[in-house]
Amino acid sequence: MRFSCFAQKSSEGPEEGVEHLLWNGQSIAFTIRRGSLRRKRTLIRVTRAGKVEVILPPFLLRKEAFAAIQSRGGWILDRLREIQSCPQPSPLYYTDGEEHLFLGTYCRLQLVVCGVKKIFLSSDEKIGQSVVTGRSQLIQLRVDSDDPETVHKQLFLWYKTQIQKHIAYRLAALCPRIPWLTAGSTRGGGNVRFPDGVCARCGVAGGAAREAG
């Protein structure tokens, strides 16, 4: 099997521009990024959108990105074909009435505009709530405006809060089944001390543990 490659400069800049490599007669488009100082190895990433990224350690030359694509060209093309064969999700616009996934269920987004001076806190009551109405499920999201970027940020915060609660519930349910997690656990001969409001058995915040119980 013969391999050949060529580079094509892009106007987007030396680090983020789109490059091309011809692998076995098929063109692979990719971008090159520099990783952090801690990165020691080259990473090839194929995103769900079908974009190929090469993340280089900061000390490697750009030509190493082409060598990495050439060595993994078959895997990259297989991954791209797999992505193309799957139905692509519809783009999200973060508007009222739009459907969003939550715990495997599509929920309709319902915006509650509270005004620009509203201060939001990291709690369900302040951010929003999930409501079941008949056969449909809503995400009622409180926002200071219906600007898509504002809605996006607020929805992300709501998801983050829900995940924290879900993990707390699961931990509260699982901890009693783990014999070595007890209030009198010791390490190195001394008693383990927990902050106020935290469950001594599993480290879950007291409020979340009580709700889970």
Neighbours of 75 (CB within 10 A): 11
φ, ψ of residue 128 in degrees (nearest 5): 165, -175
Amino acid 27: pLDDT? 96
Q: Are 47 and 53 in contact (CB under 8 A)?
A: yes
Burial of 143 (0-12, 13-18, 19+ CB in 10 A): buried
Which three-class secondary structure state does DSSP give residue 113? strand
Amino acid 194: pLDDT? 44
Distance of alpha carbon 29 from alpha carbon 69, whole angstroms: 10
Amino acid 87: pLDDT? 81
How many helices (H) and strands (E) would you count in the chain? 5, 10
Amino acid 48: pLDDT? 84
Q: Give per-residue burial for 171-197: e unless 16+ CB within 10 Å, then b.
A: bbeebeeeeebeeeeeeeeeeeeeeee
Distance of alpha carbon 69 from alpha carbon 75, whole angstroms: 9
Amino acid 206: pLDDT? 47
> Please, what sign has the CA dihedral across residues 152, 12, 43, 86?
positive
Amino acid 74: pLDDT? 96
Distance of alpha carbon 10 from alpha carbon 17, whole angstroms: 5
- Can you give the pLDDT of all 213 residues of the chain as single tens digits? 233 333 334 333 335 689 999 999 999 999 999 988 999 999 999 998 899 999 999 999 999 999 999 999 999 999 999 999 988 778 999 999 999 999 889 999 999 998 755 554 445 556 778 776 667 799 999 998 999 999 999 999 999 999 999 999 998 888 888 877 655 444 444 444 444 444 544 444 544 444 444
Q: How far is CA 190 from CA 94, 120, 150, 184, 201, in A?
A: 52, 41, 49, 10, 16
Distance of alpha carbon 111 from alpha carbon 94, whole angstroms: 10
Beta pairing, strands 136-143 & 128-133: antiparallel
